[in-house]
Amino acid sequence: MAAEITQQAHTSTFPVTSGEHWIEALDNGTHVLIRPLQAKDRQREIAFIERLSPQSRHFRFLCQLKEPSEAMLDQLMTVDQRQNMAYVALAHVDGELQEVGIARYAAAPRAGECECAVTVMDSWQHHGLGRLLLHHLIDHARAQGFKLMYSIDAAANVAMRDLAQAAGFSTVRDPDDTSQVIHRLSLA
C-alpha cells in the first residue's frame, strides 16, 4: 500500500501517457518514465544527442558527431515496434521534460537477429537507467521473435561492456576492427 501511494505521487509529475509505459525508480531513487519513442520526441532526441559529451556521442555513433543530420534523425525516429524499436527514458530536469536515455534495436540482415544500442545522458549514468532500458528492449525483441541481439561498441566503452556483461551478453573482439567489440545475447 505505501509503495502504491509513493508510486502514485511520482506518476503525477509525468504527462498522462497511453499505451505501453513504465515509471521506474533508479538506484538513486529518481523516477523516470520509460515508453516507446514517438514522432513527437524528435526535438527531444536532437537535444539529447547535443547534450551528450563528445565521448558519449562517439561511443554511441562510433564516430565524431556534433549534431545529427536530418537523414540520421529520420532513421533514428523510424520505429515500427517490430523491425525497429526504441524505448526512451524521460525525466524532469530544470522544469523541463527531457530525454535522459534511450535503448533501441534494428533488425539485422541475418534473419532473427537485431542490433541494439543503449545511450544514457552522462549525468544520469551509473544509476541503473541503462539496465532498465536494456531489460525492456530485450523483452520486446524476444516477444517479436528475435533469436539473437548484438551490439558493436568501442572497446574503450567500459560502461557498455559492464552493462552487456550484467545482462548476460558474451563479448568478443570485432575481427574486422580491433578497436571494437561485439556483444551478443541469445534471446532463444
Q: State pLDDT tens for residues 125-178.
A: 999 999 999 999 999 999 999 999 999 999 999 999 999 999 999 999 999 999
Closest Cα partner for 99 from 24, 47, 160? 47
Least confident of 15-24, 166-175, 176-185: 15-24
- Rounded Cα–Cα distance for residues 174 and 115 (Å): 14
What mean pLDDT is reported for the chain?
90
Closest Cα partner for 114 from 88, 91, 92, 134? 134
For the packed helices 129-143 and 158-166, what is the interaxial angle rounded to 10 degrees? 50
- Rounded Cα–Cα distance for residues 116 and 109 (Å): 13
The neighbour count for residue 109, using CB atoms within 10 Å, is: 6
Predicted pLDDT at 177: 95
- Rounded Cα–Cα distance for residues 84 and 142 (Å): 13
SS3 content of the chain, % helix, strand, coil (to 5): 35, 35, 30
Question: Domain spans of the chain?
Answer: 20-186
**What CATH number has the domain spanning 20-186?**
3.40.630.30
- Rounded Cα–Cα distance for residues 166 and 169 (Å): 8
Tell me the pLDDT band of 17, cut-offs 50, 70 and 90: low
- Rounded Cα–Cα distance for residues 70 and 52 (Å): 18
In terms of residues, how long is the chain? 188
What percent of the chain clears pLDDT 70, i.e. is strictly above it? 90
The neighbour count for residue 44, using CB atoms within 10 Å, is: 19
Residue predicted with more confidence, 92 or 11: 92
Whether residue 9 is predicted with pLDDT greater than 90 in this model: the reply is no
